[in-house]
């Protein structure tokens, strides 16, 4: 990791050194060097992360928080050290971050915990999470399904009403409408920090201020921000935030939820069982405070250790450097795609701040055909609706192609994508009068 201890901005030379830490990037696909532009879906793992998980299994594998023997103590220390590392990375306290299998699980956990506060007799502290007829949950039109469907289901279960902040033709939130939608009946405001389709970085401060005016809880989907830009949940003043490890150099099967300590300790748990209780009788149970309150059963211990290693890698590289480099790649993507005839780029126009991804539509060619053509060139991208059907519908599409970069991508790879995209319509004879 010779590049990660530098403080100078990332450039192609530094990125090529970083790439040495990622074995999967050295292989070929379709007889060509692999160009991996699908990190928005799942990122690759550096050697240090894979070794961290392997070392845990080789040296420390045991049940955490349960055994009295020395090996169990070492496993517990590794597990809790991982929590300290990951919590610090996002500006949270150790008691304010608990593990889930991914961000989708975290968002569902929050929605179901709110449901548990909406039925039966609950404490006065838990009552603030309760919803019923007349209450409202506000999301946005650009949400990933994981930050939409759980809230739809919560409203269905409780009788609350779901509303959404619409987007304009460029995908930006209509903030003037947000100011009207977020009102006295709003109990929850849930929105993405950065869109997985548009690359837009939403104005968190503006939205949080609107929620604070009416006492609404704020849930932030940080899946596309935690891996790519400096994230401080306390500075953002959100109540909850979720993110997934597999999008930030870690393995699959690990995610995290941040919540203000006072909220987590008042919120009813969703999953119940061993390791999250203080006292159990045949009639009732009492629960531990956060984070154990939300970690019933066997936890993803090795994955948490690996996520902490991934966080160490990102921290040593420097999140400011990562964000700046991906911004450069994102602008190169959107500028180059916008210059190709018959290509419509979704989201902000060139020059407007965005993350390092760009989704686009090739006129006259289905996104799946675009993906297959690029795959034949050794270029891995994502095609489909990217778990954001309402957003695509708003933009008049059923699917798009998305290229997403990370700290291990070079400008040469972006240029190779642009050259390949420029060949797609001629290849399919679109716009020539000789369409196949």
pLDDT digits (tens, 9 = 90+) for 250-263: 999 999 999 999 99
- Mean pLDDT, residues 192-203 taken together: 98
What's the pLDDT at 118?
A: 84
- Mean pLDDT, residues 330-345 taken together: 98
Residues 6+ apart with CB under 8 A from 363: 342, 343, 344, 425, 430, 431
- What is the assigned CATH class of domain 51-315? alpha beta
What's the pLDDT at 165?
A: 98
The residue ranges of DSSP E strands in 315-355, in sequence order, are: 343-345
When pLDDT is cut at 50, 70 and 90, the band that residue 66 belongs to is confident
Q: Is the pLDDT of residue 435 over 80?
A: no
Spatial separation of the C-alpha atoms in residues 259 and 254, rounded to whole Å: 17
What's the pLDDT at 398?
A: 97
- Mean pLDDT, residues 222-244 taken together: 98
- Mean pLDDT, residues 356-378 taken together: 98
- Calculate the CA dihedral of residues 135, 139, 145, 146 and round it to 10 degrees: -70
What's the pLDDT at 30?
A: 85
State the DSSP code for 33.
E
- Mean pLDDT, residues 281-306 taken together: 96
Beta bridge partners of 173: 167
When pLDDT is cut at 50, 70 and 90, the band that residue 6 belongs to is low
- Mean pLDDT, residues 142-154 taken together: 98
Spatial separation of the C-alpha atoms in residues 361 and 338, rounded to whole Å: 11
Q: Is the pLDDT of residue 434 over 90?
A: no
Q: Where are the domains of the chain?
A: 12-47+318-427, 51-315
Q: Is the pLDDT of residue 423 over 90?
A: yes
State the DSSP code for 69.
S
Q: Is the pLDDT of residue 123 over 90?
A: no
What's the pLDDT at 1?
A: 47
C-alpha distance from residue 213 to each of 184, 210, 259 (Å): 9, 5, 20
When pLDDT is cut at 50, 70 and 90, the band that residue 2 belongs to is very low
- Mean pLDDT, residues 351-360 taken together: 97
Any idea which architecture 12-47+318-427 has in CATH? Answer: Alpha-Beta Complex (3.90)
What's the pLDDT at 393?
A: 98
When pLDDT is cut at 50, 70 and 90, the band that residue 436 belongs to is very low
What is the DSSP code string of 165-207?
E-B-TTS-B-HHHHHHHS-TTEEEEEEESB-TTT--B--HHHH
- Mean pLDDT, residues 298-323 taken together: 98
Q: Is the pLDDT of residue 3 over 50?
A: no
Q: Which residues of 55-81 are buried (b: 16+ CB within 10 A; e: fewer)?
A: ebeeebebebbeeeeeebebbbebbee
Which residues carry out catalysis? 387
Peptide bond into 222 cis (omega under 30): no
- Mean pLDDT, residues 87-97 taken together: 98
What's the pLDDT at 106?
A: 98
Average pLDDT, the chain: 95
Token readout for 290 is: 């956060």
When pLDDT is cut at 50, 70 and 90, the band that residue 119 belongs to is confident
Residues 6+ apart with CB under 8 A from 8: 14
């Amino acid at each position: 990791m010779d590049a990660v201890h530098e403080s100078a901005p990332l450039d192609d030379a530094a990125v090529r050194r970083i790439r040495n830490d990622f074995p999967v990037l050295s292989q070929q696909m379709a007889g060509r060097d692999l160009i991996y532009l699908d990190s928005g879906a799942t990122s690759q793992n550096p050697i240090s992360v894979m070794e961290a998980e392997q070392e845990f299994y080789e040296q420390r594998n045991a049940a955490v928080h349960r055994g009295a023997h020395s090996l169990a103590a070492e496993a517990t220390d590794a597990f809790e050290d991982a929590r300290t590392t990951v919590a610090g990375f996002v500006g949270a306290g150790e008691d304010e971050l608990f593990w889930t299998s991914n961000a989708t699980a975290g968002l569902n956990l929050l929605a179901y915990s709110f449901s548990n506060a909406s039925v039966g007799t609950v404490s006065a502290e838990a009552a603030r999470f309760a919803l019923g007829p007349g209450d409202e949950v506000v999301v946005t039109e650009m949400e990933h399904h994981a930050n939409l469907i759980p809230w739809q289901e919560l409203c269905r279960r409780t009788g609350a009403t779901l509303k959404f902040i619409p987007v304009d033709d460029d995908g930006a939130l209509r903030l003037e409408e947000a100011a009207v939608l977020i009102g006295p009946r709003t109990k929850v405001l849930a929105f993405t920090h950065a869109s997985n389709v548009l690359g837009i970085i939403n104005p968190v401060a503006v939205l949080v201020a609107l929620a604070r005016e009416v006492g609404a809880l704020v849930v932030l989907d940080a899946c596309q921000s935690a891996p790519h830009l400096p994230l401080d949940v306390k500075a953002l003043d959100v109540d909850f935030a979720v993110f997934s490890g597999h999008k930030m150099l870690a393995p699959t099967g690990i995610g995290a939820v941040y919540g203000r300590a006072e909220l987590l300790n008042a919120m009813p748990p969703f999953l119940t069982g061993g390791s999250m209780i203080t006292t159990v009788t045949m009639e009732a149970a009492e629960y531990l405070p956060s984070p154990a309150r939300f970690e019933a059963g066997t936890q993803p211990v090795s994955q948490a250790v690996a996520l902490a290693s991934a966080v160490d890698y990102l921290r040593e590289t420097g999140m400011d450097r990562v964000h700046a480099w991906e911004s450069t790649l994102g602008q190169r993507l959107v500028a180059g795609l916008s210059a190709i005839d018959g290509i419509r780029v979704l989201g902000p126009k060139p020059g407007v701040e965005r993350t390092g991804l760009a989704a686009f539509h090739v006129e006259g060619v289905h996104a799946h055909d675009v993906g297959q053509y690029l795959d034949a060139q050794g270029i891995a991208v994502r095609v489909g609706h990217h778990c954001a059907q309402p957003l695509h519908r708003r933009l008049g599409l059923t699917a798009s192609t998305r290229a997403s970069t990370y700290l291990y991508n070079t400008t040469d790879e972006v240029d190779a994508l642009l050259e390949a995209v420029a060949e797609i319509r001629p290849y399919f004879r679109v716009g020539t009068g000789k369409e196949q």
